[in-house]
A = this chain, B = another copy of it.
Amino acid sequence: MPRQVDHEERRRRLAEAVWRLAARSGLEDVTLRHVAAEAGVPARQLQYYFGTREHLLLGALEILNADAERRAAQRMSDLGPDPSPRAVVRAILLELLPLDDERRRTQVVHAAYFVRFLTDPALALSVRDSPHALEDLVASLLHLGQELGHVNPDLDPQAEAAFLVAGAQGLQPPVLLGQYTPQLAVNLVDRQLDRLFAGHRQDA
């Protein structure tokens, strides 16, 4: 194999150019020429590494999702050993808020792709593979919290988890638009956690 080149590295650089353009003005402006100019390479490279524009969009999204997942996993393990259910739920929800440039970028790019998710079957797989994974995870943590006596045993973990996740996701637009500060969004989430983790009985 001649001309040793790191394919993954190349694809990542091109994908990053796609993200920047998509976040700036939507998929509309993600043309092969613009991406090439943004990445500082001849347009021909895009064909070589991704083939068609459709594959470029799909590939860029996959890399973005893989990155986001890795960062999320990292922040989860940063919680240390044996984190409380509340801390884990909080970390999950904060992952859904645009609290830094990486999360902001991920969420804006997802917004740019969203309408395509509705119709494009290839892209739909990127989001539908585990539709309720987050909600189920939060629900199980709430259930665990109930067993530990941190959470009111009367409430329905699944329903509360679903609304918690929806709430965090619904806080994205106003924060991205600058209507809410990130801090306010975090406060709103914490307030809900205060309510749920009210500690009805400290003993098991």
Contact = CB atoms under 8 A, between A and B. Distances in A.
B108 A115 contact: yes
Contacts of A170: 165-172
A172 B117 CA distance: 13
Would you call the interface of chain A mostly helix, strand, loop, or mixed?
Answer: helix
Contact of A23 (B115, B173, B177, B180): B115
A26 B191 contact: no
Contact of A114 (B28, B111, B117): B111
A6 B7 CA distance: 58
Interface stretch (A40-48, A71-79, A80-88, A125-133): A125-133
Interface stretch (A10-18, A61-69, A137-145, A155-163): A155-163
Contacts of A28: 26-28
Most buried by B among A26, A117, A132, A176: A26
Contacts of A180: 162
Contact of A188 (B115, B163, B171): B163
B177 A163 contact: no
A159 to B, nearest CB: 5
A39 interface: no
A174 B162 CA distance: 10
Given A132-B179, A179-B128, A191-B163, A25 B171 contact: no
Nearest to A185: B166
B176 A118 contact: yes
A116 interface: yes
A171 to B, nearest CB: 5
Specify which of A24, A163, A172, A180 lies most central, judged by the most chain B CB atoms within 10 Å of its CB. A163
A124 B179 CA distance: 11
Contacts of A22: 115
A42 to B, nearest CB: 24
A119 interface: yes
Query: Closest 4 CB pairs between A and B?
Result: A170-B170, A166-B170, A169-B170, A167-B167
